[in-house]
Amino acid sequence: MTRGDNKVYLRGLIEFSNICRKNCYYCGIRCDNRSVERYELTDDEVLAAADFAWRHRYGSVVLQSGEQQSPAFTGRITALLQRIKAHTHNEVGITLSCGEQSEATYREWFDAGAHRYLLRIETSDRELYYKLHPNDNKHSFDARLEALNNLKKIGYQTGTGVMIGLPFQTMQHLADDLLFFKTMDVDMVGMGPYLEHKDTPLYRYADKLLPLEKRFELSLRMITALRMLMPDINIAATTALQVLDPEGREKAVMAGANVIMPNITLPSVRPNYQIYDNKPGLHDDAGGTLSTLENALHKAGITIGYSEWGDSKHFKPHSVAG
Ligand code: 5AD
Ligand code: SF4
């Protein structure tokens, strides 16, 4: 399948904090899970990770965290964005994945140098959404849609995504998810298998799920179908795929994905970012993870777009008046 170029782009994933105000029923770092040790990397640690990405010719980094909403958090991210941009002479692209925020906050971060934002819808079906989240104002489906629309309006390359193989999820839901991406006209999609976590409310349905190999297969099929539906967007080969198959990400690339996000978070805090059980790469150091991945991609005949931002070819910047 052709996408104009056949390159895969690398984003260094920095999970800088697992503190989260939300209580999504599927997620291991939900705020009610008291067995998680909460952490927040220092600015210098985040900068060191971004520096690592830059030196290893990753085109960009993704700053990901649980959802926090406060002026202090907003200001901290703004300052971090400016520092990373200055340190790397604007060579490293920055994607944010820090949950729902006000339009003003999204705008402030955009102005500080973030140009892509990931906010998964998790499922495009409102009813299913409320089986996966508490039905309260912290977990509003409409607020999530509004956040996605705000991101687009501000001028971010906007990414969303869903989990595949969720309890109560049907094939119809998944087909509708693909149509949702198309109708929303998003620039990037990250989707992967749902993986149960024992300290979450959804775990009680663990015996009703598709077998893991079916969830894996279905995820690859979703990637291929989406690639046909939206030939020029960026599609991520997600870490959750790697849990089910050590070569999961490479297989996802063969199925149509063109972005890989190796985890470059400090190994010492990685065990605390367990959104699902058996998350891979917990003990690798970032350098080791990368060379293994590079070798595997090389063997599969896949070219890496080194030092390129790898923007979504689908994205059209807003036309400037005049
Ligand atoms: N299985 C798979 N993906 C999960 N996420 C959170 N919990 C799980 C889980 N148990 C995904 C969500 C979220 C992203 C950061 O991680 O889609 O948006
Ligand atoms: Fe928080 Fe995201 Fe986990 Fe929901 S999925 S509990 S918002 S980290």
For residue 30, the ligand closest to its alpha carbon is 2
| CA-atom Rg of the chain in angstroms | 18
Answer yes or no: are the C-beta atoms of 155 and 317 closer than 8 Å: yes
Pocket of ligand 2 (CB under 6 A): 20, 22, 24, 27, 29-30, 66-67, 99, 275
Over 50: is that where the pLDDT of 3 sits?
A: no
115's CB contacts (< 8 A; 6+ apart) are 93, 94, 95, 156, 157, 311
Ligand 1 centroid distance, CA of 193 (Å)? 9
Please state, rounded to an integer, the average pLDDT across all residues of the chain: 92
Whether 197 contacts 277, CB under 8 Å = yes
**pLDDT by residue (tens digit) across 118-171?**
999 999 999 999 999 999 999 999 999 999 999 999 999 999 999 999 999 999
* pLDDT for the residue numbered 51: 94
320 pLDDT more than 50: no
Say how far apart CA 169 and CA 132 lie, in whole Å.
10
Ligand 1 within 6 A of CB of 197: yes
Give the lowest-confidence range in 30-34, 52-56, 107-111, 262-266: 262-266
The pair of structure tokens assigned to 121 is 């819808």
**Cα dihedral 116, 122, 127, 133 in deg (nearest 10):** -100
The CA 118 to ligand 2 mean position distance, Å, reads 13
261 C-beta closer than 6 A to ligand 1: no
Beta strands 259-260 and 7-17: pairing type? parallel
Give the end-to-end CA distance of the chain in Å, rounded to a whole number. 38
Could you identify the atom of ligand 2 that is nearest to the CA of residue 30? 6
Query: What pLDDT, on the 0 to 100 scale, is given for residue 5?
Result: 64
For ligand 1, say whether the CB of 27 is within 6 Å of any of its atoms.
yes
197-227 burial, b for 16+ CB within 10 Å, e for fewer?
bebbebbeeeeebbeeeebbbbbbebbbebb
**What SS3 state is found at 152?**
helix
Beta bridge mates, 64: 15, 97
The whole-angstrom separation of Cα 225 and Cα 309 is 25
Q: For 71-119, what is each residue's pLDDT tens digit? A: 999 999 999 999 999 999 999 999 999 999 999 999 999 999 999 999 9
- Ligand 2: residue whose CA is nearest its atom 6: 30
Please report, rounded to a whole number, the percentage of residues in the chain having pLDDT higher than 70: 94
pLDDT band at 298 (very low <50, low <70, confident <90, very high): confident
- What confidence score (pLDDT) does residue 222 get? 98
> What separation in Å is there between the alpha carbon of 163 and the centre of ligand 1?
7
Domains annotated for the chain, with CATH where assigned, are 7-311 (3.20.20.70)
Cα 196 to Cα 204: distance, rounded to the nearest angstrom = 9
Q: Which of 22, 96, 132, 141 to mutate to test the pocket of ligand 2 (most atoms within 8 A of CB)?
A: 22
